[in-house]
Structure 1
Amino acid sequence: MIRFTLFRVPIEIQPWFWITGALIGGAIGTTDQIGLMRLLIFMAVMTISILVHEFGHALTGRYLGGGSPRIVLWAFGGMAYNQGARLSRNHLFWMIFMGPAAGFILLALTLAVVFLIYGVQGGTWLTTLIIFNEPVGDPTIEALTLLRDHLPRFFILDALIWINFWWSVLNLIPVLPLDGGRIAELYVTPRHKALLISAITGATVAAVAWIGFDRLYTAVLFGYLAFRNYKDYQSKKW
């Protein structure tokens, strides 16, 4: 267990966070020094990126409603708590939304650097390669040199872009307790309907991730969330 304070916000990183991060980063398939380097860079960037995401929640909540924010990084990502805060529904929306927004801001800053260094053609090729594993257009000499001669730099950019794009997008899906689900919960009444929406959406995403993209971790995560939301729906619908 790691505990420290940053920007007057207590932070706790639980052991399962590192285990899950290693699995997402491909620890099982890591067999050489380059793979190990990529894994360690991925885990470092993942930690920073998720902290940025959670600080988006915590600092916005403190600004809008006061209270005492706290951040916990655990097996499936992170949680920001704001004990004692007094927030209207509108303020709650912004507190929740600013988590993914912080990730998108970090993504935008990273892409600005990439396009500044590698130009439109090289930046587009690198960005689409990293996000979709299907590059658009032709690579430039500079982009190919990055992949061939500067692997640590590429691994950092790869992790920054991939994590902050997909983590932010997935967090906006309306599945509790993800941010999209928490936003939906603010506006869907009664609450058991939000749970049903979460269960159906989670099951759909799990099936698409497993069948369409062979993403085991994503399928397991959303399958688990779908099951948990459906059980909660059954207990609350009456």
Structure 2
Amino acid sequence: MLRAHREIMLRFSLFGIPVTIQPWFWVTIALLGGALHSATPDALLETLIFMVVAAISILVHEFGHALTGRRLGGGYPEVVLWAFGGLAYNHGGRFTRWQRFWMILMGPGAGFLFLGLVAIALILVFGFQGGCNILTVGAIGKVVFPVSEEVLAFLQPHHRPWWVVSSVIWINLWWGLINLLPVLPLDGGRIAELWMRTPRQAYLLSATCAGGVALLFLGRGDLYATLLFGFLAFQSFKHFQELR
């Protein structure tokens, strides 16, 4: 059984860095993409597009960590995509506090740069107003300028290029911002940990923030995010107690 599980993992190398994608990664991403509600061919295709965009975006994020770590601290980086996202290891790397800070920050930073490139492309194609409208609709569901017919046609719910762009915007903006919250083991929590006097303080901050975010998502009716941050709050509080 274990051997069969290993055989269906996807393995490749990019920029000299080995990458492993575990099967449960695809299951989680499919659920996040609405696979349980994909009752039509269009809905299934939209879920598949979301999965591809999510995989690319998470790889960009993890390579932000890995390439920065290799540049600053040496070692042998490795990237793994698993059920809850991605992990970037740097075997044998040696880092100062500030080098570790930049290595962690460049994960979400790479995602923001990726989003910036997409924003530039949209502005070049649709103009400044049109590009900004597409970006804000993807981010918050609202427009900021009068909408041209060209942009309105692009934003139609059944327009497949819009599915790609909206997924890129949503994942790289909102997942990147959420990942910067001071919650362990998210990147924001790892950054906060660098500047805390003790690990116990970092876990207390993490538990408090994660609990607050869980309540916020509960109020919005987002069950998955509520369970995720509730679990992270529980884990952080457990570690906080163990470090007495």
TM tier relative to shorter chain: over 0.9
Q: Secondary structure at the match of 2:87?
A: strand
| Mean Cα deviation higher: 142-151 or 90-99 | 142-151
Contact 2:136 2:144 in 1 (8 A): yes
- Paired with 1:137 and 1:205, the residues of 2 have a C-alpha distance of 32
Q: Which residue of 1 aligns with 2:221?
A: 214
- 1:94 and 2:94 matched: no
- 1:116 and 2:138 matched: no
1:37-186 mapped onto 2 (5 Å cutoff): 37-148=45-156, 151-186=159-194
Q: Which residue of 2 aligns with 1:231?
A: 238
Aligned residue among 44, 60, 63 for 1:36 = 44
Contact 1:121 1:140 in 2 (8 A): no
Q: Secondary structure at the match of 2:155?
A: helix
1:173 CA drift (Å): 0.4
- Give a deviation string over 1:16-54, Cα, whole Å, max 9, x none: 111110111111111111111111111001000000000
1:70 CA drift (Å): 0.6
Which aligned segments of 4 or more residues in structure 1 are displaced greater than 4 angstroms? none
- Paired with 2:120 and 2:133, the residues of 1 have a C-alpha distance of 14
1:194 CA drift (Å): 0.3
- Give a deviation string over 1:167-191, Cα, whole Å, max 9, x none: 1101110000100000000000111
Aligned residue among 196, 212, 215 for 1:204 = 212
1:131 CA drift (Å): 1.0
Which amino acid is the alignment partner of residue 228 of structure 2? L
1:121 CA drift (Å): 2.5
Which amino acid is the alignment partner of residue 59 of structure 1? L
Assess, with a 3 A threshold, how the Cα gap between structure 1 residues 134 and 215 changes in structure 2: closer, same or farther: farther
Identity among equivalent pairs (%): 50
Q: Which residue of 1 aligns with 2:5?
A: none
| Mean Cα deviation higher: 213-222 or 55-64 | 213-222
Which amino acid is the alignment partner of residue 160 of structure 1? V
Q: Secondary structure at the match of 2:221?
A: coil
